[in-house]
Structure 1
Amino acid sequence: MIRNFYFLLFFFLSVYDGFAQSASLDMESYADSLEHILKSGSNDSVKAGASLGLINYWLYKDTVRARQYLERGRELGKGYPYIYAMSYYAEGLLYFNSDEQKSEKAYLIADSLLCGLDTKEAYVSRSNVWNNIAVHRQRNDDDRAHIDILLNKAIPLAEKAADSAVMGSEYLAVGLSFMNLEQYNKASEYLERSIGILSRNRSQSFRLASAYGRAAENYILLKRFPEARAVLDSLQLLLAPYPDTEHNSLYYMAEGMYYQQTGYYDRALQYYDQGIRSASGVGKAYKIQELEFYKVKTLIAAKRYGEANALLNRFLQEEEMMDFYGNRVEIYASLAETYAGMGNMEQAYHWQKQYSTLSDSLHTSTLEDDINALEIKYKNAEKERKIASLEASNKLAVLSAKNNRLINWLLGIVCLFFMIAIAFSYFYYRKDRKLAMEKERNYQSRLGKLKQEQQLLSARAMLKGEEQERKRVARDLHDGLGGILAGVRMNLSEVESRFTDTLQSEMDRIITNVDKSLQELRRIARNLMPESLLQVGLKGALEDLCKSYETAFFKVDYQPYEISSGLSNTQQLTIYRIVQELLNNAMRHSEASEVIVQCSQNGDRFYITVEDNGKGFDPEHSESGKGLGLTNLEHRVNTMGGTWEIISGKNEGTTVNIELYVDQ
């Protein structure tokens, strides 16, 4: 079988996400984006990364231009260790096909520079470096070294980087190695791992396309055609948006193999020719050789020996094709078969002998054993790493559990401390708040009392002023106007005898009016200043007051109980005015015929109840509201720190209950 190679020729410069990308299926857009970065005003590190990234694009188009980008990138990247190291990686790519020694030397310099960087990007790039060195070994027919480097250098570095994309690529490389040894079942294991990893990362479409193509090829060689068809369909869907991608040649080759193995030789040859025409990019020569080799196999299967023989003889002239031991074995065997098919038994025997001499079964067996031993060694090392990792994880878990318990205890203690602190804080807060509220209540209470005392003082001062004014007016009325009216009455009496009978009746009427005026004047004066309070005390004064309101149609029943004579003049006068106001209201507004006035004293409490049988009213919905009389009544009650209530209803009479505070 012709050699399969997997080149990690595209690299990552992920210091900044904008200037270097993983390889893309759309290389034109990839190159345009990097050129745009170079022309923009980016800093040196970004420009250096873009310059090195453009080597991917120009490597197989214009090596001179690729070299220019390498020099520019290295110069710009001198101040950036990772980018400077990657310039030697890029140099290894530049000389990969033309000068193997220069290429490997550059790779080793890149690895030595990257060793000092403990970053994910550095580990990824070192894994790629060793993968490409492994390809050098494979091209020199050293399969043992190839697989050894992959298993013991490239893959461990990829694992250290914890980069799934690189791990997928390394598994793909190992799978190809087992395909070259015709160990297709083992190859299938690694190829499936590669697809599983790369298919979960959308940015790895370039590598996923390679994995799909090689997996399809491997399934075909295993005669597992349904799986091969499914993978081919996935590859076709992946490549559909990119008609110019170099991976189309891989797809056409796998389709050709599929139709070759299923007996559709003409269709297989069409796919191989399409693949040869579409081959481009990295490893173009190897892709064409691989396609032509499968074309030879198909021509032999179709018994078109002459065409197959012509291609094989051309292979004999191609140095790169004949460099590899496995390729020579396959070519010699195919030449023997084509010459036999053409009837040239002499040439058939010659090439069969060449094939037999070259095909040393012992060597092949030893090589396969060595490579299988390396794989077993890798798997054992992997198991040991897993065991060590599990043991470390268990120790870490035990330590973590202890630490967690300690932390939990500490947290518990801290939480308990905080809870106690919070409880004390809350307790003191409530205590302080309660004390503050108590102080506020006391303050408001004192303030209310002060306001009330101030109001009482104001009311008492107002009432005192009012009583003084009443007293003055009463005195003026009695001494002034009363004296004048009395003089007029006396003068009228003296001249009454002088009037004739004609004027006598008129004189009597005038005298009668003057008498009435005197009576009204005395009544007003008495109301303004009841002298009876000073003469007979509160009990007698109230009795005189009640009698003064009695008429033929308005009866007043006065009922005194335990009224003290030791009340101050101010208190007696206030009580007198309250009863006077209640009697006025009953006479004027209630349309009552009977009124009961009860006055009693019990210690420092004085009680007044005035009840009438009038028409009553609704205290809550009185049409007139509080009149002047009730307002004055309320003021007088308040000055003595008292309370009062009105009980009334329409056509049910009215009862007024008053409780006053009096000094002993």
Structure 2
Amino acid sequence: MIRFLHLLCFLAGLPVYAAAQVPLDKQKYLDSLQHVLSRAGPDSVKARASFLLSDYWSYTDSLRAKKYLEQGRKLSEKYPYLQALAWFYEAGYYFDHDVPSSESAYRKADSLLSRFPMKEAYHFRAKAWRNYGLQQQLKDDNKAFADILLTKTIPLAQKAGDTTYIGSCYQDVGLVFMNLEQYAKAEAYYGKAISHLKTDLANKTALAQTYLLGAKNYIFLEKYPEAKTMLDNALDLLEPYPGSALFLEYYTGEGMYYSRIADYQKALKSFDKGIALAKELDQAYSLQELAFQKYKTLTAQGKYKSAAAILMTILEQREVMSRTGNRKMIYSELSQTYARLGDMAQAHRWLKKYNELSDSLHESKFKRDINELEAKYQNAENQKKIVLLQSEKEKAVLSARNNRLGNWLLGSAFVFSLAVAAFAIFYYRNSKKLAVQKEINYRQQLKEMEQHQQLTFANAMLEGEERERKRVAKDLHDGLGGLLAGVKLNLSSWAAHKAIPQQDSRLAHITGQLDNSIKELRQIARNLMPEALLKFGLEAALRELCESVITGDLRINFEAFNIERSLPLTSQVTIYRIVQEALANALRHAEASDILVQCSQNKGRFYITVEDNGKGMNGSANGRKTGLGLDNIKNRVAYLDGKLEIISAANEGTALNIELNVTG
């Protein structure tokens, strides 16, 4: 944000007011920023555009200014430098209506931007200090403003290498000296400003403003040709932009110039143009400045009545009359104007107001001076007390330090003793806990070893049992089975040789007994080691097992899901034995008419459900003493690291839910 000064030229030396340096082509400037926001692009670029729009609207529309400021802050979240820059634009937002917040934000911006040693950061720090100085100038502290410009703003602008901005700062210094009626010094600084600003023709606004201020300064110096040259230079820059607010400055300067050279008609014409534009742009201070200059011209023409009417209009403007200096000047001018009109009563009335205000100011200044003297005296007395108190404090501090040292040594010894005792107690308790824990761990390890040995022994027993079953089944099938088959063949051959008829009852009885024996033998061999399991796999063997026990009074429903042929043979045999034992238990004890056998596999887990509608058991068999059949099932489930759940109730049947681990 760039803040410029505007001189309310009622009389030389009146206060300076802050106004914005608005681009000469305002609409083009506004459209270009809106275009940046509307198109796709980085957040950093859009954040800068939002900040500039906030600056643009901060003078006319505070709601829009706040909106764009917040938008810029949001877009700057990822960029620390832009977050620092946001404080600069926030200070500009508060500049006119909350001076303390604005001053605080400018200092915050300078502090945060000082972390970035780059030219742009120096440039914005220079702007921040310049605007902060303007706020001091608005408090009638021209000295502070000049000091800030010369010691803060210009050195930072030089670091930034910004020739144009240095020129703007020289313009400010010139305006300070012009307000102090030191026109020769002001002329020198305006000259420096113009020489710097001419190097950047793109920044026409600052150069035009300097020409206009320089023209006024030459008018006060009564250098009228130089003033006219300055006005013409400014007009050359402003003509392409007829709606620019800088035309208000131009019409003021042009009217003052014509008034000083006694061309009053041209002067009044210039002032009237400026007044019309000020009303159009809603620029209250410029409007009153132009009105006051018109009053001066009418007075010079001797048109006192019209001049008095203008003063009365200015008197009604609260913004202008809120400053004591302005009120004094207007009261004085009214008194003189009414005296010229011969209305001595009104002249005396306004002179009295002027004197009362002057006396009030003098009394206020006198009281302020007395208070300052009293404050200095009190400060001197306080300094004496402070020195005495500091001496006493140093003695007390030394004594307290010695006491603290002694107490610290005693306390340290006591704490050390406590620490040693605490460590000893802790070590003893910890050693005791460790010993107890070691004993617990040792017992746990023994228990685990015992369980492991029992499991190993059980596994070995089961594996041995299966091997023995396989051997006995083979011997029965190949040995005794073959022998019985041979006996039957020999008997049939003998009967045929002896011509014994096949219908012979004794021969039929003997042959039937042999057939039953062979069938029973094969059934025993199948139970010992099912042939279908070895030939066709687990699913076929289980299906054959279920079908083999179906009778007219017993239905068995077998369901299989996703059983893999690649299961290890030992796992297949164990699963077969579990289902075989479960069916045997149901047949022997359940008195059931329907049995459901369901087997499924999910990768390394195998699930078995055997459910009947028999008479059930009294309560669950999970935790109570069980028979040999259930013990065999439990051992085989444990062999495959599985889980067994038995659900049973009297007259409601029994369900066995088994989950087995069949990986590798």
Q: Which TM-score applies when normalising by structure 1?
A: 0.50
The structure whose Rg is larger is 1
The normalised TM-score by structure 2 is: 0.50
Q: Which has the higher contact order (CA 8 A, sep 6+)?
A: 1
